[in-house]
């Protein structure tokens, strides 16, 4: 009988961790449909107000810059031409109110009557739990073109592995 409260606490912690992982996976999965539909404010709302999005070709700081990217002419031309951002399953590590998710994404564009992969990317999402749930504090994306930086992002599966 004495072990029951400890077992219940351990079970509750495991359930919470699984719920956190599921919420984070859903947040990441929502990015593609939202960005491809041009839902700029909804995309930016996935980030903390001061969150960062660091892509090879563009660094964005704060929700306003993320909104501007989605609403901007370059991204809107991809939507008009046909594009799909596909995010594969992410490996999610949760520690208290911080989390890291690591995985791949593809950006597919419609060009000359065919669908072409524009980029294959390694992604590292850093997230924090707040009053509105999980939000992105930083997303780092690097194209998988042979440079060492992208595989390093994929290898850093845990919160403390970012600077290895």
What pLDDT does residue 162 have? 59
pLDDT tens-digit map of 73-123: 999 999 999 999 999 999 999 999 999 999 999 999 999 999 999 999 999
What pLDDT does residue 160 have? 77
Cα(121)–Cα(105) distance, integer angstroms: 5
Cα(163)–Cα(145) distance, integer angstroms: 21
> For the stretch 93-124, what's the b/e string if a residue is b when 16 or more beta carbons lie within 10 angstroms of its beta carbon?
bbeeeebbbbbbbbbbbeeeeeeeebbebbbb
Which CATH number covers residue 16? 3.10.450.50
Cα(21)–Cα(55) distance, integer angstroms: 24
Residue 123 domain boundaries: 3-163
What pLDDT does residue 158 have? 82
On the CB side of 108, CA atoms within 13 Å amount to 12
Total tally of structural domains belonging to the chain? 1
Which residues lie below 8 Å from residue 13, measured CB to CB, with a gap of 6+?
Answer: none
Q: Which residues pair with 90 in a beta bridge?
A: none
Q: Tokens at residue 98, please?
A: 């911080």
Query: What does pLDDT average to over the chain?
Result: 94
Q: Quick one: the chain helix, strand, coil %, rounded to 5? A: 40, 40, 20
Phi/psi for 57 (5° steps) reads -95, 0
Percent of the residues in the chain that have a pLDDT greater than 90, as a whole number: 90
Place 164 in a pLDDT band, splitting at 50, 70 and 90: very low
Helix axes 73-81, 63-71, angle to 10 degrees: 50
Place 57 in a pLDDT band, splitting at 50, 70 and 90: confident
What pLDDT does residue 4 have? 75
pTM given for the model: 0.92
């Amino acid at each position: 009988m004495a072990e029951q409260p400890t077992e219940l606490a351990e079970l509750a912690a495991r359930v919470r961790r699984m719920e956190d992982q599921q919420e984070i996976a859903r947040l990441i999965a929502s990015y593609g449909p939202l960005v491809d539909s041009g839902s700029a404010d909804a995309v930016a709302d996935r980030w903390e107000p001061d969150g960062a999005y660091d892509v090879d070709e563009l660094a964005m700081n704060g929700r306003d810059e993320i909104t501007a990217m989605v609403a901007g002419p370059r991204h809107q031309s991809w939507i008009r031409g046909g594009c799909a951002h596909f995010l594969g399953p992410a490996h999610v590590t949760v520690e208290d109110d911080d989390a890291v998710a690591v995985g791949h994404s593809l950006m597919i564009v419609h060009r000359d009557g065919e669908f072409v992969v524009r980029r294959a990317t390694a992604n590292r999402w850093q997230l924090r739990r707040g009053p509105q749930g999980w939000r992105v504090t930083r997303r780092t994306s690097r194209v998988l073109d042979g440079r060492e930086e992208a595989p390093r992002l994929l290898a850093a599966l845990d919160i403390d592995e970012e600077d290895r």
